[in-house]
Amino acid sequence: MTLDVPTLFFVSTLISLLMAVWVGLMALGKPRNDSLWSWFAALACYCAGNMLVALRDASTPPPLAIIVVANSTYALALALMLVALRRFQDAPLNRWHVLLPVLAAPLVLGGALAISAAARVYATLLVYGGQILLLLWTLRDRAHPIAGRGRFLLQVAYAVLLLILVGRTGLVAGGWIEPANLIRNSPIQAIIFTVLSCAVLSLSLGFVYLSMERAEQRYREMAMSDVLTGLPNRRAITEELERCVSRARRDGELVGVVLLDIDHFKRVNDSFGHQAGDVVLRSVAQAVRSRLRGHDQVGRFGGEEFLVVLPGADLNGALAAAESLRQTVESSPVRWGAQSIAVTVSVGVRGGIVTAAETADTLVGSADAAMYQAKQSGRNRVCAAGDGVKTN
């Protein structure tokens, strides 16, 4: 089977153009500084560069201006890919990393072309190779990591592009291919364009995949978060407790469960309004979160209740943590306009070894019963499950 290089070039350009359209459609409705818009612009520049190359190779002799502009357009496409990745990472962008290759490309490539067509190929490796290395470094930036399989696809595609540049330069240096005409038919050129088409397609698919993974992650976080307080919601904190209980059963670890309920919360809503009640909920959430250890977890369990999971805590440790939380809330009145709203919580605690018969639900049930006992005993106090009342 014989592969026709001009046909491969046309198909590669067409596929890139379609990918640009699809990415543009994905970007509709997003802010202009969204990474998808930058990637759309990069693909559009790549397609424009391909069209200029086709125009160049159709002219005899090829105009110098078209050659320089075509190669500069490719440099702009790679620069816009860098912009897209840095925006995706929410990372600062060094403008010189973007502008320098774009400004240098016409000078370096034009000057090389004045020497020979082969010199232009070497200059191409210098400019584009440097940009691709910068893109690969960006994908491995530990200060702004990119998670997901799309990152791996991008890394492989950029590495293949770099190998194509290095390989083509070597072939030109060895006299295996003619540097003056990029899309002339030859078996080697056919292989290069086949691999190039796959790499460019993989780049676009990789970035689209990254965007989809990011969106999926955000939807998952929204589904597991309480919008008002920013804490994990009931589903999320319950799942965390279930994982903790499973681990405790397996390894014989301790688990502390603390359930807090804001005292007289309905009275706050009735006296100051629901907006004030929302502020109180956020204030309590912040106060509780500020007093927990790094591996402890807190979530909004429902209404004005908060569930705290304390891995490794026995009953005394859980009681001490609960008392600290109670005191923190009590000493943090909420400002509402010119008024100050006093806030207290009643707290139920269960801590210690998890037996084979216990589940996450039974632990919460024990803490809930203790919390009810604290309410019945006068509120603003901590009670332990099955162990009487601990007053403030």
- The domain segmentation of the chain, as residue ranges, is 5-218, 234-390
**How far is residue 200 from each of residues 81, 156, 162, measured CA to CA in Å?**
12, 11, 12
Burial 4-34, CB ≥16 within 10 A → b, else e? ebeebbeebbebbbebbeebbebbeeeeeeb
Q: What is the pLDDT of residues 73-87, one digit of tens each?
A: 999 999 999 999 999
- CA dist 180 and 328 (Å) reads 76
Residue 144 has pLDDT above 70, yes or no: yes
pTM (global) more than 0.85: no
User: Under 8 Å CB-to-CB from 39, ≥6 apart: which residues?
Assistant: 23, 80, 81, 84, 204, 207
Q: Which of 213, 221, 253, 304 is catalytic?
A: 304
- Looking only at the bridges linking them, the beta strands covering 382-384 and 345-353 are parallel
Question: pLDDT band for position 341 (50/70/90)?
Answer: very high
Residue 265 has pLDDT above 70, yes or no: yes
Residue 157 has pLDDT above 80, yes or no: yes
To the question of domain 234-390 being in CATH 3.30.70.270, the answer is yes
Residue 213 annotated to the active site: no
To the question of domain 5-218 being in CATH 1.10.12, the answer is no
Asked which of 16-20, 175-179, 237-241, 373-377 is least confident by mean pLDDT, the reply is 175-179
